[in-house]
Each structure stands twice: as C-alpha cells, then as structure tokens.
C-alpha cells in the first residue's frame, strides 16, 4: 500500500490488515464488549431515571457519564466492527472527520463531567450543611449543560483548522481516526495547527484540572483533621470517583503513547489493547465501579437482573 499523491476521499486504516485471519474472533470479542457498554450504561440510566430516590446531584452526573459512555462507544465500535470485516479496511474521509469529532468530544465531555463530579464531592464533604443550598437543581442542570456544550463547541471551533487542511495522504496506522492522525495526512504546513492544538489542550484542561486538584486538596485537608468515622465516610464517597479518574488517566496515557511514540516493538495485541482502552474500558468499568459502590444503585441493579419485578424507589 502506498500513500496517494493526490487528494483522496478514502482513508485506509492500516492496523486492520494485521488483524486479518482472526478478524471474526476480534469481531465477536468487540461486538460483545460493545453490547456490554450499551447494556451496562443503559441499565444505570434507566435505574436513575425511574428511581426518584436517585434524583440527586451525584447520580444525575453519573447518569450523564453513562450517556457519554454510550456516545463514545457508539462513535467507535460500530464503525470499527464494519471496517474489521470489510476486505478493504477503509472509510470515507467524511466519516473519518466525523469520527474524529465524536471521539475527541467524548473524551472532553468525560473529563468535564468527572471534574464536575469532583466539585460535587468537595461540596458534600467540605460543606455538608450547605450542600443542598449550593447544589440546587438549577445549578446541577447548568453544570450538566456546561459539561456537554463546552466540549462540543470548543472542539468544533478548533476542529475547523483541521477541516481546512488539504489531505494528500490516505493511510492511518490505527483502527480509528483522531485529529493528530488526520493532521499528519495533510500536505499543507501544519506547524501552526500543531502549536494551536497543544495550546488548545492546555487551555481546555486547565480549569478542570484546577477544579480536581483544588477539590481533592480540600477533601484531604478535611480528612486529616476529621474523626475516623468521617474519614471512612469520605473515603467511601470518593473511592468510585477516584477509580473513574484513574481509569480515565490510564486511557489518556495509552492514547498519548500510541499517538506520539513508536510502539512497534510491542506485540500487536498489546498495541490494539492500548489503542482501544480509552474508548471501551471507561464506559464498561464506570457503571461497574459505581454500581458496586452506591448501595441504592447496586440494589436496583440486582433487582433488575435477578427478578422481573417493577423497580421501586428504595426507602
């Protein structure tokens, strides 16, 4: 395969060729993972909506995290599965651009919601008596709206720069399209786009990072002087969120390593795992983490799986 010397409307996803011979095994595995993403997150959304006892800020944010999990999984896996069993392993340039937008906004929305959830935990632990007056329904809905509109609009404004580039190459060495891979296909000078891209990442992530560090800094300060019972309560309420942040951070690390460094020395299966971790495992593990740790949610999930009874709010 050779890069096209003229502008191409088709993008070849080269990594799929290394999966030939086992493509139906991979198809089965990733189809089951996609079904798990959809089922686990839909269950969380359904239970939170139907149980009025779960109409609290933390659970509302969790519901949006589950919606974003389905959004991210659907942005990647249906296209991944169809390209996997296709003999040509290619997608149109338009589809590649669309997937780039969806995958990047999924990652940005996830980070923003996790940051907002961090703020919610800060208020709950550091200002327990003022929690309900601070985290009002109006404020929660505004935070939810901000968590979606800010990433969608912010990345769209930046992505215009990529869309204006002329592409004279058509081979991406991954199984999906992201902005950095698209920019490398351009025959234009991409120095400005690359610099603005780094600046965009810094500017976008700075407020969320500050919010996260500030919130957990104050939570840690409170825990150092609190009673043993209060410490255990704070640890219990923060542990799921910390696991979710860790899960997200691992996915980010894998994606950065895959995109920016040569990982050809790693076994192909390891490269695929690192490449897909960010878009599959957070949507799978987040419902499991919160489903196991939140008592009301865990009880309703068990009832949903084990019985045919109508879900009832927990007293």
How open is the CA angle 26-27-29, to the nearest 5 degrees? 65
**Structure tokens given for 214:** 């500030």
pLDDT in the model for residue 293: 61
pLDDT in the model for residue 64: 96
308 against 182, higher pLDDT: 182
Residue 314 lies inside a defined structural domain of this protein: no
Specify whether the CB–CB gap between 192 and 25 falls below 8 A. no
Answer whether residue 299 shows pLDDT above 80: no
Residue 312 lies inside a defined structural domain of this protein: no
Residue 13 dihedral angles phi and psi, to the nearest 5° = -95, 95
User: In total, how many domains does the chain have?
Assistant: 1
Residue 193 lies inside a defined structural domain of this protein: yes
> Is residue 286 helix, strand or coil?
helix
- Rounded Cα distance, 178 and 264, in Å: 19
Answer whether residue 306 shows pLDDT above 70: no
pLDDT in the model for residue 77: 94
How many Cα atoms within 13 Å fall on the side-chain side of residue 76? 30
> Is residue 42 helix, strand or coil?
helix
The predicted-structure confidence for 78-113, as pLDDT tens digits, reads as follows 999 999 999 888 999 999 999 999 999 999 999 999
Answer whether residue 300 shows pLDDT above 70: no
- 311: DSSP letter: P
Residue 291 lies inside a defined structural domain of this protein: yes
Specify whether the CB–CB gap between 223 and 230 falls below 8 A. yes
Sequence-distant (6+) residues with CB within 8 A of 309 are 303
- Rounded Cα distance, 189 and 57, in Å: 46
**Structure tokens given for 297:** 């949610």
**Structure tokens given for 206:** 């700075």
The predicted-structure confidence for 282-298, as pLDDT tens digits, reads as follows 999 988 887 766 666 66
Residue 103 lies inside a defined structural domain of this protein: yes
Specify whether the CB–CB gap between 26 and 185 falls below 8 A. no
Give the domain range for residue 127.
Answer: 10-305
Specify whether the CB–CB gap between 237 and 62 falls below 8 A. no
Specify whether the CB–CB gap between 247 and 282 falls below 8 A. yes
Residue 315 lies inside a defined structural domain of this protein: no
- Rounded Cα distance, 220 and 124, in Å: 13
The predicted-structure confidence for 105-164, as pLDDT tens digits, reads as follows 999 999 999 999 999 999 998 888 899 999 999 999 999 999 999 999 999 999 999 999
pLDDT in the model for residue 262: 76
Answer whether residue 10 shows pLDDT above 60: yes
Answer whether residue 6 shows pLDDT above 50: no
Answer whether residue 214 shows pLDDT above 50: yes
Residue 295 lies inside a defined structural domain of this protein: yes
The predicted-structure confidence for 44-86, as pLDDT tens digits, reads as follows 898 889 888 888 898 999 999 999 999 999 999 999 999 999 9
Residue 275 lies inside a defined structural domain of this protein: yes
pTM score, whole prediction: 0.89
Q: Edge-to-edge strand order for the sheet containing 90-92?
A: 90-92, 10-13, 171-172
CATH number, domain containing residue 46: 1.20.1070.10
- Rounded Cα distance, 51 and 264, in Å: 49
């Amino acid at each position: 395969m050779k890069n096209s010397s003229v502008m191409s409307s088709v993008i070849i996803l080269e990594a799929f060729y290394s999966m030939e011979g086992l493509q139906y095994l991979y198809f089965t595995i990733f189809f089951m993972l996609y079904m798990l993403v959809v089922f686990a997150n839909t269950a969380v959304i359904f239970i939170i909506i139907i149980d009025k006892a779960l109409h609290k800020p933390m659970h509302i944010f969790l519901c949006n995290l589950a919606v974003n999990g389905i959004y991210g999984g659907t942005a990647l896996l249906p296209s991944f599965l169809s390209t996997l069993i296709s003999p040509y392993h290619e997608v149109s340039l338009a589809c590649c651009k669309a997937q780039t937008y969806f995958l990047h906004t999924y990652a940005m929305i996830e980070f923003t919601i996790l940051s907002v959830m961090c703020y919610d935990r800060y208020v709950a632990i550091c200002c327990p008596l003022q929690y309900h007056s601070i985290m009002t329904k109006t404020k929660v809905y505004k935070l939810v709206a901000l968590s979606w509109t800010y990433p969608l609009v912010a990345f769209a404004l930046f992505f215009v720069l990529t869309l204006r580039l002329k592409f004279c190459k058509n081979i991406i060495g991954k199984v999906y399209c992201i902005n950095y891979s698209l920019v490398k296909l351009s025959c234009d000078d991409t120095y400005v786009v690359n610099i603005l891209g780094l600046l965009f990442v810094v500017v976008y992530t700075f407020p969320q990072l500050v919010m996260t560090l500030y919130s957990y800094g104050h939570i840690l300060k409170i825990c150092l002087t609190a009673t043993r019972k209060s410490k255990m309560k704070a640890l219990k309420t923060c542990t799921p969120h910390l696991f979710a942040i860790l899960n997200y951070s691992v996915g980010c690390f894998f994606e950065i390593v895959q995109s920016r460094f040569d990982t050809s020395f790693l076994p192909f299966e390891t490269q695929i795992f690192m490449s897909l971790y960010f878009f599959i495992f957070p949507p799978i593990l987040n419902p499991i983490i919160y489903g196991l740790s939140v008592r009301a949610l865990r009880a309703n999930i068990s009832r949903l799986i084990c019985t045919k009874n109508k879900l009832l709010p927990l007293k």
